[in-house]
A and B are shown apart, each in its own frame.
Chain A
C-alpha cells in the first residue's frame, strides 16, 4: 500500500514537472499548434479548389500549371502569391526556370481560407517557406 502511494506521488511530481516544462515553451508550442491547424484546414481548401490543376503532390503540369512543391516562385513571392489567390494571377511568370502564362482566376476564397491554403502549400511536400501566414496579412494585401 505504501509503495502504491509512493508511485502515485512520483507520477504527480512528474506531471507537475511536465506541465511546468510545457509552460516554459508554451509560446512556441501554441504557435506550432496554430500553424498545424491552419495547415490541416488548408489541406481541405487545397483538395477543393487547387488540386485539379496543381495536382495532389503540388507538382503541377510542366509549362501549363506551375508547381507549388519545391517552387522558387512560391518561396520568393509570398505577397504576390497571396495577391494571386485573392484577385487572380494573369501574365507570364517564371517558375523553376520555366515560363507559365495561364490565367488563374480568383476562387472566391475568404481571407481565412487563403491564409490556410498558403500555410498548407508553404509547408507541404517538403516545402518549408517562411513563417505562418495570418488572416490579417491576407486582409492587408490589396490590388
Chain B
C-alpha cells in the first residue's frame, strides 16, 4: 500500500516534470543599452490589429471592434462600407494588406470574422476592396471559412503576398483542435494560398485530394497571427500561438503538415499534457519555439539601414509580455532574443514602413515609431 502510494506520487511528479521539460533554447534578454526613442504617431487606438502605409503617406488602421481608420496629417477619418463584422472573442476586423501593385490597381485586402453562411457563430473571411474618398467600394469577398462556430478563439487572419503575387492568409483552428487542423476537407488550422482575384492557383497542393478545401497551402496550424515574406529567400514565414508554451516560428512549405495538435512543445492551459510527441515523421519542425509562450502577434524583418545593429533581424510582437522581441537568426537558428519597448503595452503588430522606420501597433496606445539615436 505504502509502495503504491509512493509510486503514484512519483508518477505525478514525472508527469508534471515531463510537461515542463521543453524550454526555449535561447532566453529573451534585456538590452544592455537602449539606443532609440519612441514617438506615438497615431494616438488613441484600442486594438489596432493591422495597418498599412498608403503611397501618399497616409495610414490605414483596422480596429478590432470593426472600424477602419484613415490617418493623415494628424486627422483620423472613419472609412465606411465595411462588411458586417461578427464581433466575438478574438474575432473582429483584423488584418489589412495592400496589393503589391496597389498604385496601379488600388486593391486592398482585409480579413474579418463573419457570421454569414451555415451554422450559428462565425468564421474568418477575406475580402478585397478599393478606397474611394472615405468609403470602400468594389467590395468583393474572396474567401469565407465554413463551419461557423460560437467559439471565441483562433481566427488567424494575417495576410501576405509573395514575390509572384500569390496571396497567403491564415485561419486558426477556431478552438476545435481535434477536428479541424489535420482535416483537409475542413477549414481552419491552415495557411491558404489564392490568386489576388480569389481564384485558386492551378498548382495548389491539394487540388487532387478528395473533397479538400483547395485553397489550403499548408495545414496543422494552431493560430498564426504573424506572417511575413522573407526578404532574401522569398519564403513565407509565420509564427503561431501555442497553448501553454509552444508558440512557434514556421517556414511555410507547400503541402506541409505543421503537426498541430499531434506534435507540440506546449501543454494544456490547465497544465496537463495532450501529446507526448514533439516530432513525428512527415511533420514539419518549427524554426524556433517559445516556452513559455510570449503570445506572438505581428512580424517583420528589418531590411532598412536605419538600425545598423538590427539589420536582417526579425521582430515579433508579444501580447503577453508587452514588448517587441528582436530575434537574431543565423543559418536558420535563433541565436539571440532581445526585448524592445518593454512595458508600453500589448504589442499587436509590427511593420517596417516605406521610410525604413519600424512602426508598431500597441493596444490602448496607438501606432508607435522607433527612432534610432543618431549621435554615435
Contact = CB atoms under 8 A, between A and B. Distances in A.
Interface of A: 48-49, 51-52, 56, 64, 90, 101-103, 105-108
27 contacts: A48-B151, A48-B153, A48-B175, A52-B269, A56-B269, A64-B322, A90-B46, A90-B364, A101-B364, A102-B346, A102-B363, A102-B364, A103-B46, A103-B363, A103-B364, A105-B46, A105-B47, A105-B65, A106-B65, A106-B87, A107-B88, A107-B89, A108-B87, A108-B88, A108-B89, A108-B91, A108-B152
B86 A108 contact: yes
Contacts of A102: 346, 363-364
Contacts of A52: 269
Q: By DSSP majority rule, is chain A's interface helix, strand, loop, or mixed?
A: loop
Nearest to B365: A103
Interface centre among A48, A56, A64, A101 (most CB of B within 10 A): A48
Contact of A49 (B86, B152, B270, B322): B152
Contacts of B175: 48
A51 B89 contact: no
B269 A49 contact: no
Interface in B126-152: 151-152
Contacts of A101: 364
Contact of A48 (B46, B152, B270): B152
Nearest to B153: A48
Contacts of B91: 108
A6 to B, nearest CB: 43
B329 to A, nearest CB: 28
Contacts of B221: none
Given A56-B270, A102-B364, A103-B364, A48 B89 contact: yes
B64 interface: yes
A107 B269 CA distance: 20
Contact of B269 (A51, A64, A108): A51
Nearest to B63: A105
Contacts of B64: 105
Contacts of B270: 56
Q: By DSSP majority rule, is chain B's interface helix, strand, loop, or mixed?
A: loop
Nearest to A106: B87
A49 B47 contact: no
A127 B260 CA distance: 36
Contacts of B363: 102-103
Nearest to B122: A108
A46 to B, nearest CB: 11
B152 A107 contact: yes
Contacts of B153: 48
Contacts of A51: 269
Contacts of B346: 102
Contacts of A106: 65, 87
Contacts of A107: 88-89, 152
B63 to A, nearest CB: 10
B182 to A, nearest CB: 22
A85 to B, nearest CB: 12
Nearest to A55: B269
Contacts of B86: 108
A89 to B, nearest CB: 11
Contacts of B269: 51-52, 56
A115 to B, nearest CB: 16
Contacts of B46: 90, 103, 105
B219 to A, nearest CB: 23
Nearest to B151: A48
Nearest to B322: A64
A107 B151 CA distance: 11
Nearest to A102: B364
Contacts of A105: 46-47, 64-65
B242 to A, nearest CB: 12
Closest 7 CB pairs of A and B: A108-B88, A108-B87, A103-B364, A49-B152, A48-B152, A49-B89, A103-B46
Interface in B34-69: 46-47, 64-65
A101 B364 CA distance: 9
A60 to B, nearest CB: 13
A143 to B, nearest CB: 14
A90 B65 CA distance: 14
Contacts of A48: 89, 151-153, 175
Contacts of B151: 48
A49 B269 CA distance: 13
B88 A103 contact: no
B262 to A, nearest CB: 22
Nearest to B88: A108
